[in-house]
Amino acid sequence: MNNFVKVSRHDGVAVITIDNPPVNALSPGLPEAIGAAIDEMNADPAVKAAVVIGAGRTFVAGADIKEFGKMTSGATPRRSLLPFLLRIEDSRKPVVMAIHGAAFGGGLELAMAGHYRVASPTAQVGQPEVKLGIIPGAAGTQRLPRLVGVAKAVEMCAEGKPVSAPDAAALGLIDRVIDGDLLTGAVAFAREIADMPAPKARERMGKLGTLVENAAILAAAHDAARKKQRGMKAPLAAIEAVEAAITMPFEEGCQAEQKLFTECLFSDQSKALIHIFFGERELAKIPDVPKETPVIPVNRVAVVGSGTMGGGIAMVFANAGIPVLLKDVDEAALDLGMEKIRKNYASSVQRGRFKQAFVDERLRLITPALSYDAFSDVDIVVEAVFEGMALKKSVFADLDRACKPGAILASNTSTLNIEIAGATSRPEAVIGTHFFSPANVMRLLEIVRGKKSSKEVIATCMQLSKRLGKIGVLVGNCRGFVGNRMFGPYRREAQFLVEEGADVEAVDKALVEFGNAMGPLATGDLAGLDVGWRIRKEYRHLEKPGIRQPFAEDRLCELGRYGQKTMKGWYRYDENRRANVDPEVTALVRKWSAEAEIPQRQISAEEIVDRCIYALVNEGARILEERFALRAVDIDIIYLNGYGFPAYRGGPMWHADTVGLPKVYQRICEFHHQHRELWAPAPLLKRLAESGKTFAEFDREQSAAGLLERVNSA
Ligand code: T1G
């Protein structure tokens, strides 16, 4: 028996404890060890039943995802868990699976191969494989519908959402929820069932039904997958595999599952999503901020500014159960801000996202304020006032006076330099916390390191982002930080393409078909074209003479076309905010382009995508080189969670790796030749392309060689 498994005896019950920290993943050797323990148990006359339980914080988090790369590169052979699970299911003596923490993927498949399942009330079970671009690959799509029915199995396998233990018990997936000590309860349960038959999930046909009976369920699942997981292959494969459970005997169903699983595993989509899985776990690893850095306790917070962003940020804190003061300059502004918050919560209740009781509780946590009087005991303040340096500096000076020593002063600025800190006597406590609109929905949080931001303040904000249900990414302090700095060139190219003859809707359609949640021009209309226009006007003095600048959006703003907020921008909007192509815009842009003597031409969807996406990649490479981002994967995660970039492409930097940097570089050189300086290739991109390397390799080499330095806080 290797170290993965320990066996103990409890009065006729063998307890098999899986111990493979941190999450008991089914690494090579572990399934074999469990199988051997089951055989030993069956051979021991003194033992009547077995309990399988996980050591540490969880049952089993699934197959070892770290092994997938080795399998798809051919470094190690593909290992199937099916025979090992059949060995458990065919055990002569009953096997009880005792679940705490998570039984995910192969972990739930292991549990379903057991004859009974018990769980602690906080346990979760699920088949999240689609989030990795794969499907269950160890008979999960065959045993699950037999245990919970086709509808639930399709939902769990195609959407990948976890199910709580009490809900799983209601579905018949869990036989008993154990309050109190799980092991004690599981051993007692094992004794109860020791002399009863050991039901095999694969033989339970009662909940399957026929193809005809399930036709509507399967059709609805397909539609939902195409809509909610647009472009992703794995959800459709998962539905197809569950369908095989209805139409085929167990063994054939497993073979059909294996075929679909293998196709998914070797797909670019899966490689991209696994890249993101591990990337998300790298985010918190900051070279000069070790994980044992002390954090500042955050029990009370304040937000300054109750506008759209301020109100959303206050909701984020309240949703995490943290009392929040919300300050604004006068009663009218505050009433408006609180009204918007109440409206937001009301629509969340209407859409079933929150229960009314939850909302009432959250609203009680938000206290409107007209002064800084109560700011003396808050642990962090987030400033979300109008985007003007002078105003922000005066607010920070006020906060410096009103807040206790050690309180963190954070700014939600999306473009301004964190030198705002200079307005305080405590620059080490100043940091950027850039939320994305709507703040109570978008998961991304750019945490902007100022020149003097202390390690404690950084560590606190990184940890706080998790507590707020956000994905916190540490970025350097340059104009637009990472996300918006890259978004500039991306939207610049979208405007240029329209000025050169492309139709507005063609530009957006090309990027939506590429997989983006929304096209660049429609996104501008959503955010408000005037936001960028005001910033461009503020920075006009920084524009290099002789460098082409897009003009279309500025001209639209001069005509009061700010987008959705004025019911017209690039598109015209109806009362339901639906976008309609506006021939007036096409005519206006053609006229302006003629005045600017810009030759008009037919532009392919391929060129549209290349110019917009490679503009992202080129600027991303500059940001990496200038160290305003720690890793290329950090940039990818920013774009997936803040800008609607398709997750199954892994983010702009990973996408470029997948296309191949030599090809991307060559295309950028073509654009450089056509469009001159704006498309000068980033030196890092040139170097990697010429050395046949990838951004992912750059990340690995940087961290392996300890070259991962602190982000540039300028
Ligand atoms: N394999 C390998 N490493 C894993 C892992 C896994 N399945 N799950 C987590 N880790 C590592 C992770 O990289 C991190 O490492 C550490 O464990 C802690 O993770 C056959 C084919 C279980 C809910 O998709 O959802 O089974 O950074 O920070 O927040 O059909 O981990 O410390 O070096 O996330 O407490 C399906 C994935 C696999 C579940 C715990 N399973 N894991 O969350 O910790 S495919 C999953 C999670 C499969 C079968 C198929 C979460 C968690 P490091 P963490 P956490």
Ligand 1 within 6 A of 546 CB? no
Q: What is the model's pLDDT at position 551?
A: 96
Indicate if the pLDDT at residue 492 is higher than 90.
yes
Tokens 């539905």, located at residue: 239
Task: Tell me what percent of the residues of the chain surpass a pLDDT of 90.
Answer: 91
Indicate if the pLDDT at residue 709 is higher than 60.
no
Ligand 1 center to 275 CA (angstroms): 13
Ligand 1 within 6 A of 563 CB? no
Q: What is the model's pLDDT at position 708?
A: 61
Ligand 1 within 6 A of 58 CB? yes
481 within 8 A of 446, measured Cβ to Cβ: yes
Ligand 1 within 6 A of 265 CB? no
- Can you read off the two tokens belonging to residue 639? 């774009």
Ligand 1 center to 278 CA (angstroms): 9
Each residue's pLDDT tens digit, 108-151? 999 999 999 999 999 999 999 999 999 999 999 999 999 999 99
Ligand 1 within 6 A of 261 CB? no
Ligand 1 center to 39 CA (angstroms): 28
Q: Could you tell me the pTM of the whole model? A: 0.96
Tokens 């006359």, located at residue: 45
Each residue's pLDDT tens digit, 570-628? 999 999 999 999 999 999 999 999 999 999 999 999 999 999 999 999 999 999 999 99
Ligand 1 center to 23 CA (angstroms): 6
State the chain's maximal CA–CA distance in angstroms.
93
Which residue has the least CA distance to atom 49 on ligand 1?
A: 106
Rounded Cα–Cα distance for residues 317 and 511 (Å): 34
Ligand 1 within 6 A of 446 CB? no
Rounded Cα–Cα distance for residues 587 and 591 (Å): 6
Q: Which residues are within 8 A (CB) of 318 and not within 5 positions of it... i.e. 6 or more apart?
A: 324, 362, 363, 365, 366
325 within 8 A of 314, measured Cβ to Cβ: no
Compute CA distances 364 → 122, 324, 373, 560, 564, whole Å. Answer: 27, 9, 19, 39, 32
Ligand 1 within 6 A of 114 CB? no
Q: Kindly tell me the burial class for residue 602, based on how many C-beta atoms sit within 10 Å of its own C-beta (0-12, 13-18, 19 or more).
A: exposed
**Range of lowest pLDDT (225-229, 305-309, 387-391, 404-408):** 387-391
Q: What is the model's pLDDT at position 447?
A: 97
Q: What is the model's pLDDT at position 713?
A: 66
Rounded Cα–Cα distance for residues 451 and 420 (Å): 11
Nearest residue to 383 via CA among 313, 336, 332: 313
Ligand 1 within 6 A of 62 CB? yes
Indicate if the pLDDT at residue 345 is higher than 90.
yes
Counting every residue, how long is the chain? 714
Ligand 1 center to 106 CA (angstroms): 11
Ligand 1 center to 110 CA (angstroms): 16
Q: What is the model's pLDDT at position 15?
A: 98
109 in catalytic set: yes
Ligand 1 center to 186 CA (angstroms): 25
Q: What is the model's pLDDT at position 417?
A: 79
Indicate if the pLDDT at residue 247 is higher than 70.
yes
Which residue has the least CA distance to atom 33 on ligand 1?
A: 281
Ligand 1 center to 427 CA (angstroms): 38
Helix axes 583-595, 504-514, angle to 10 degrees: 110
Which residue has the least CA distance to atom 23 on ligand 1?
A: 102
129 in catalytic set: yes
**Going edge to edge, which strands form the sheet with 444-448?**
366-369, 324-327, 301-304, 380-383, 408-411, 430-435, 444-448, 471-475
Mutate to test the pocket of ligand 1, among 65, 122, 163, 278 (most ligand atoms within 8 A of CB): 65
713 within 8 A of 450, measured Cβ to Cβ: yes
Mutate to test the pocket of ligand 1, among 4, 18, 23, 27 (most ligand atoms within 8 A of CB): 23
- Can you read off the two tokens belonging to residue 158? 């195609």
The letter for the amino acid at 462 is M
Is the sign of the CA dihedral 613, 618, 622, 624 positive or negative? positive
Atom of ligand 1 nearest to the CA of 107: 26
Each residue's pLDDT tens digit, 287-331? 889 999 999 999 999 999 999 999 999 999 999 999 999 999 999
| Cis, peptide link before residue 22, omega less than 30° from 0 | yes
Q: Which of 32, 67, 109, 203 is catalytic?
A: 109
Q: What is the model's pLDDT at position 410?
A: 97
Ligand 1 within 6 A of 160 CB? no
Ligand 1 center to 66 CA (angstroms): 9
Indicate if the pLDDT at residue 513 is higher than 90.
yes
Ligand 1 within 6 A of 109 CB? yes
420 within 8 A of 382, measured Cβ to Cβ: no
Q: Which residues are within 8 A (CB) of 611 and not within 5 positions of it... i.e. 6 or more apart?
A: 493, 496, 497, 671
Angle among Cα 475, 480, 483 to the nearest 5 degrees reads 60
Each residue's pLDDT tens digit, 645-683? 999 999 999 999 999 999 999 999 999 999 989 999 999
Indicate if the pLDDT at residue 1 is higher than 70.
no
Report the mean per-residue pLDDT for the chain: 95
End-to-end CA distance of the chain: 55
Atom of ligand 1 nearest to the CA of 135: 30
Ligand 1 within 6 A of 284 CB? no
Is the sign of the CA dihedral 355, 357, 359, 365 positive or negative? negative
Q: Which of 89, 129, 155, 159 is catalytic?
A: 129
Which residue has the least CA distance to atom 38 on ligand 1?
A: 62
- Can you read off the two tokens belonging to residue 182? 């799980």
Each residue's pLDDT tens digit, 19-74? 999 999 999 999 999 999 999 999 999 999 999 999 999 999 999 999 999 999 98
